[in-house]
A = this chain, B = another copy of it.
Amino acid sequence: MIECALTVIKEPLVEETVKIRVPPSDLADNLGKWLETKEETDVTFNVRGETFHAHKILLAMRSPVFKAQLYGPMGDRTARNITVEDMQPDVFKDLLDFIYCDKLPSLDNPDKENDEMVKHLLVAADRYAMERMKMICEAVLCKSLTVETVASTLALADQYHCSGLKDACIEFAISCNRMGGVVASQGYVHLKRSCPAVLGDILERVTKSPKV
């Protein structure tokens, strides 16, 4: 049985005839335009030979790590050219897009096999303490778990303190008789070597669950 509750609200007459439509927020668009045009940028990042221009204050507003680096007592207020190590340029580009526009362009292509890119984005989000960006990456990875990938995703989740993703991986692994396949996967070797404590977490969960 499906029950539908319908509420009919009578609007004033003028609403029926002339309505002013307020467009959605343009805050992210306004900011994104200045990232695109590079107008009035005051800092340059060199990422493996590629150059990115940005506005220091906006980076600091969005990322506590950039705040410390650009304005903190241990940072360098006069820094104009910063070299970013250990990151791919396309990952840094998405990080900037997220800082300005709350978007991750790399995730807009669902056809593409982009689990690796999402993992890189998660690591970048963790590095710059962008909590919401990290959770978006966790949610994407959580949806694309397979028997072959779950062990390596679990290792990543453990390494970068993603408790939600870690729980999802363990739950996925012990469900539906998947443990055999997981143990046989390549990622499991890596998981066992790099995060042995996680194996204990799995074992404890298995003993509580009748699913394996």
A residues adjacent to B (C-beta < 8 A): 2, 4, 6, 12-15, 17-23, 25-28, 30-31, 33-34, 39-40, 55, 57-58, 60-62, 71, 102, 132, 135-136, 138-139, 142-143, 145, 164-165, 167-168, 171-172, 175-176
Contact = CB atoms under 8 A, between A and B. Distances in A.
A3 to B, nearest CB: 10
B57 A22 contact: no
A154 to B, nearest CB: 12
Given A27-B27, A30-B61, A33-B61, 12 more contacts: A4-B4, A12-B143, A14-B143, A14-B168, A18-B142, A18-B164, A23-B132, A25-B28, A25-B132, A27-B102, A34-B57, A40-B57
Contacts of A171: 14, 17-18
Contacts of A102: 25, 27
A20 B175 contact: no
A194 to B, nearest CB: 22
A197 to B, nearest CB: 19
Contacts of A4: 2, 4
12 contacts: A2-B4, A20-B135, A20-B138, A20-B139, A21-B139, A22-B135, A22-B139, A23-B135, A27-B62, A27-B102, A30-B62, A40-B71
